[in-house]
Amino acid sequence: MTDIGATFRALHQPGNPFVLMNVWDSGSAKVAAGLGAKALGTTSDGQAFTLGKLDMGEITRDEALAHAEVIVSATSLPVSGDFENGYGDDPEYVADTIRLASEAGLAGCSIEDTNMADHSAYDFELAVERVRAAAAAARSLNSDFVFVARADGVMNGVYDMDEAIRRIRAFDEAGADCLYVPMPPSMEDLARVCQTTTKPVNALAAGKFAKANRDAFAAIGVGRISLGSALSSVTHAALLKAAKGILNDGDFSELLKGASSEEVEALLTHDRG
């Protein structure tokens, strides 16, 4: 039997990044797979939208796990879970989240150092202990599992790049398989993250980084490129533009830009033989 976690791990090659396609439901998962994606990721923001909730703390662990199972069952591709802060503060709770993630069929997941109570960052020592517990749980599983440790304080505006580098080094030593500093100030800062570790580094292709191409990320040593909520946001933009035209102006012309049913259906059924 194929170890999906091992398949997923093999994709992580510093300097030769693959694209982790972050999807938000069974349909988007199947479309991404049909278009040639090598691996999928969930997106907490995208899932929150499907539930009519806000991101950053409104999704429960049970909801995230159930959502992950839907994405896993949609295709045969490896899937990584966007599991925010692990849905709890205590290191052992985070370790339990890792075990449950594996039981849900995930090949990996990411855990960030954000305290959802006030969107600050956990104190350094607690942040490292949480990573250590999660990494130990990942190594105790019967199958391979790629655990990604995130230092989100730069993106959230609660610490600087020096602190992010300090945390990434500590997370590396604590056993994380992949390191991630979302939205550093520049490509030079992202390169600095890559230079801090020999392990794969995840880059987020969103905001200003969406202007870079895969070769640019490869050149600085990135091992994985995720999309976060950016792809789902593109669909939201299309929804907003079309709906505003219809409701505000009685203009239905945006509906002419939709994908054909035949094209979408072909992608939804490509695995059926």
pLDDT computed for residue 272 by the predictor: 57
pLDDT computed for residue 8 by the predictor: 98
Nearest alpha carbon to residue 219 among 12, 3, 14? 14
Integer CA distances (angstroms), 188 to 31, 215, 265, in order: 34, 15, 42
Maximum C-alpha span of the chain: 59
CATH architecture of 7-229: Alpha-Beta Barrel (3.20)
Half-sphere CA count of 13, side-chain side, radius 13 A: 8
pLDDT computed for residue 239 by the predictor: 93
**225 phi and psi angles, rounded to 5 deg:** -120, 115
Query: Domain spans of the chain?
Result: 7-229
Count CB-CB contacts under 10 A for residue 208. 10
pLDDT along the chain (273 residues), means of 10: 90 98 95 96 86 77 96 97 96 98 98 95 98 98 97 97 98 98 98 98 96 98 95 92 96 93 87 58
Half-sphere CA count of 156, side-chain side, radius 13 A: 20
Name the one residue in this structure whose structure tokens are 């994606």. 37
Name the one residue in this structure whose structure tokens are 């039981």. 103
- Helix residue ranges per DSSP H, 213-257: 214-219, 230-249
- Which tokens sit at 208? 């200003």
pTM for this structure? 0.94
What CA–CA distance (Å, rounded) separates 135 from 56? 23
- DSSP annotation of 90 reads S
pLDDT computed for residue 1 by the predictor: 61
Name the one residue in this structure whose structure tokens are 């933009």. 237
